Structures are given as structure tokens and as C-alpha cells.
A and B are shown apart, each in its own frame.
Chain A
């Protein structure tokens, strides 16, 4: 089986409009959230990680960001490959403004046209795990020989529906994201557009070893401990590695009181010796369907450049897990996990080559 390389990456998030900008912002300790106001029963200001790029027209803004991150990923030359768009909100922001009508296929066609894409296009929506599921489909297509290159493109941009829905479900924090923190009180959402170019032709510094996705209907808006363990077990087996081979786990840990506890329980059950843990949620917000791709793009760059997204958050001792305060040495393999709506749990393993 040919190795699957992470041949390129691109990122636009609240930290900046490229991986390089995001790293610089992170290293300067300038990550911060803006505020958005919501009406109605949960009225008030909520922190939100917006991409620092304004353009009045939703479609023009999205087009610019998509083209930028795909160019940064160096993926303009694989337009005959498979494009997997990962999103939980499509272009609902444009629908809200009356700039377009809701139409899945028209959304896929629009994004493909922005990129002059010629190959097959699929739109994956599994809520927060969309990008990781798109990565798993990309891996399957490359493993099967159906394609030699694939681009996973996570798109999650500001819209009132998502923010309003999460607020209505009382899932949002009004103060900030505290992953695995003692005073965690909810999620902070964010925007991201992220691209990961996977290839069996082009060697690179990272390989995708494997992964797994597990849906469990026990908790339709959250994670289940059994499914978290099953996800880890399957992801390790698919990757051909054992727990001891994992040097770092990028956890979901979005600051949700319930989900963080479930994830911690799953980690304790899976790892006899806990590897170092890292969360990027306090740094860039929870970027929903784009989060898997966005966090892998940023974390691989962090590991290469020695930047560490450590937080100043008092850990919840009852969880029995804590985030690593400093970058662990010699990270060769890491797991990246996203847990989300629809009882979805997904994790992938990447290895430095």
C-alpha cells in the first residue's frame, strides 16, 4: 500500500490568513476572539474567532479565502483529483443575506468553479467531524487506487444560524474557551477555511497513517464514552500502531462541561500511559466542520516550527487529564480527534517522515 502524504496545507483562521501568519500570531501570544451579539432569549455578546478579512459580499469573501488556502496548499495543479468539501453550514451565510438560495449542488459547483476544479467533487457534512470524515474518504479513495491526489477543503464561515442554534442549545460560553478547564462553561465558535492536499505521488514531511469514524446515537448532541474508546481502538488498528506509539493527542476539548469529561474518560480508558495532550480550541475557536483540517494544518506547522499553543487555563483535576504546558520532544506520531453533533467521533493518525 502506497504511503499517503500530506503534500500541502493551507489555512485561514482567526490567527491569520495563512499558516505562516497563524504561527506568527500564536508565537506572539496575540490570539484573541472578537464579540458577536445575539438576540432573543439568550441575548448578549459571545466571543467568536473571526477570520481577520472583511469583504461585504459573502460569496466574494469565501471565494477569496478558498483560493488563498488552496494556493497555499499548492493544490492548483491537482485539479483533476478528488475534491472533498467539508462543511456543516455550506453557504448559509449567503442564504441569510439573500445572496443565494439553499442548494447543495449549486454550492459544490460554486466552490469547484472558484478553483477551476475538473475532477470529482463531494460535499461531506457530518457536523463537526466533517473534515476528518473527508480525510478518511480521501484516504480510502487513494488506498483503492481510484485517485492519486485529493484535496480536503474545510469551509466554515460566519452565519447566524449556527451561532443562534448553538446559543439556543445553551452550548456557548459567554466568556471564553477553557479546554479541560475547571471553569469551562461552553464552546467558543470560530471561522476557518483550511486545505489539506493528500497524495500518493508527492512525498512530504507527514503521512496519514489511518483513522476511524464512529457514529453513536446514544447522545445526539454529544460524545459517548464507549464510542470514544471504539474510535481510538479502530483508529489505532487502521493505522497499524499501538497506543505506546502515539507521542501526542490533539484532543477535541472544546470547553464543554459534558463532552470534555466524556473525552477525558475515553482517553483514560484507552491509554495506560497518557501521552501529552494539546487542544487548539482556545487558540482558534471551534471551527466546526473545518476544524479537523484547520487544526491539522496548524498543529503540523507548530510541531515543525516549535510553536506551542499552550493555554493559561486551570485544569479540572477531576478529569484526570491535563494539557501539556510545553511542546513534547520528538513527536513522531500524533492523533487528531474531533467529536461532534450527531454522535460523531473521528480520529486520524499522522506520522512524521
Chain B
């Protein structure tokens, strides 16, 4: 069993109307040619770290990113471009979900273990995090650009078991709720307290 304390969160589903301006302020400039999905991911991750009071991830932390649809939109664009020609290089790069991991690492001036997990659920992502992460914890993201977009992030650090309350099974959406302070992975399920 692994218990995490939630140190920070970003619940942007959908993101606020001015999220692009907020992102530009956090980056110090408008991002260029990285694609909407990656921008949405950067916005959520950096907002989450700010909520946790961190400038970046510490050494030894884990960065795990999941998505239902990831880079579908640029992939569709590239497939259209390939009717008789090669894709545009930067658009091709936008089809690679792992590019967001590199962008985040660069922005945080951080070097460490990071992975994109396609499909599944935020709970299954958390189960992988529970097995893999060390004392520095994990930055856990779930980003999709369809249907208005969503960028859901949690900054989690391992802690002692939840005391004073009985953890309850939790839905994916409830994992990010402001009243949740801890998440527990046990017996193949995710509980919250």
C-alpha cells in the first residue's frame, strides 16, 4: 500500500478563458510551435507546481503523463499533409506525446524519469506511480484537448497512512477535488481521504 499527500493540484477542466495568457506569463513568452495539447499540458503542470509552492521538480521525482486522446489533432494534420508529401517537421514532432515531457523538463530545468501512458485512467496512472516513485514523489498529469480541453495535475509525495478518517474508493474526477488531501493505492484500487 502506498499513500500520497497532495501537495498541489491543477483542476482545469475546462481551463479558464485566459489560460494562454497565464501560460505566457509563467513561461516569460508565448510558446511557439509546440501545439495546443502541449501548451495545455505546460499550463496545468506549471500551475500545479505553483500551487505546491515549487519552482520545479526535485531530483529523483517522477513525471507521469496520461491522456485519452493525446496528440490526435496534430496526428490528423500530419496524415492530411502526407497526401503526396512529407509532413512538416514541427507538426510531426507535435504528434509525439513524449515531446511534452521534454518541454516540461526543459522548463523546469529538471532531469529525471518521465513517461507518457496512453489511454487507461488517472487511477491506473496513479497505480504505476505508486510502484515506481521514490521519496521525491510524482507529478501526475492527465491532459486532453478535446471538448474544451482539460489539464488535470497532482503533485504527490509519499507519506504515512491516512489517519483520522476511513479512505473511500474514488472516481477519476474526484481524485482532483479540492477537499481530497490524500490518495491511497492498495489492492489494485485507489482510495481518497
Is A220 engaged at the interface, CB distance under 8 Å to the other chain?
yes
A221 located at the interface, meaning its Cβ lies under 8 Å from any Cβ of chain B in the complex: yes
Complex CA–CA separation, A227 to B109 (angstroms): 12
**Docked-complex contact B132 and A39, CB < 8 angstroms:** no
B87 at the interface (CB under 8 A from A): yes
A17 / chain B contacts, CB cutoff of 8 Å = none
Asked whether any CB of chain A lies closer than 8 Å to the CB of B191, the reply is: no
Number of A-B residue pairs having CB atoms within 8 Å of each other in the complex? 163
Query: Please, what's the 1-or-0 string for B89-117, where 1 marks a CB less than 8 Å from any CB in chain A?
Result: 10011011111011111110001111111
Given the interface pairs A169-B92, A216-B102, the reply to whether A164 lies near B86 with Cβ below 8 Å is yes
Out of A88, A167, A215, name the residue touching B63 (CB < 8 Å). A215
- Contact pick for A215, options B69, B93, B101, CB 8 Å: B101
Q: Which of A40, A127, A218 contacts B98 (CB 8 A)?
A: A127
A126 to B117, CA, bound (A): 8
Interface range, A side: 35 or more
- What distance in Å separates the Cβ of B90 from its nearest Cβ neighbour in chain A? 9
Q: Which residues of the partner chain A approach B68 to less than 8 Å between Cβ atoms?
A: 104-105
B36 within 8 A of A: no
For A126, list chain B residues within 8 Å (CB): 98, 101, 114-116
Among A89-97, A174-182, A256-264, the stretch in contact with B: A89-97
Tell me if A213 and B111 are in contact (CB < 8 A).
no
Minimum CB–CB distance from B47 to chain A (whole Å) comes to 19
A120 to B119, CA, bound (A): 12
Which residues of the other chain, B, contact A344 by a CB distance below 8 angstroms? 98, 101-102, 114
Residues 113-144 of chain B: 1 if any A CB is under 8 Å from the residue's CB, otherwise 0? 11111111000100110111000000000000
What is the distance, in angstroms, from B128's C-beta to the closest C-beta of chain A? Answer: 6
- Using a CB–CB distance below 8 Å, which chain B residues touch chain A? 63, 67-70, 72, 75-76, 78-79, 82, 84-89, 92-93, 95-99, 101-107, 111-120, 124, 127-128, 130-132, 188
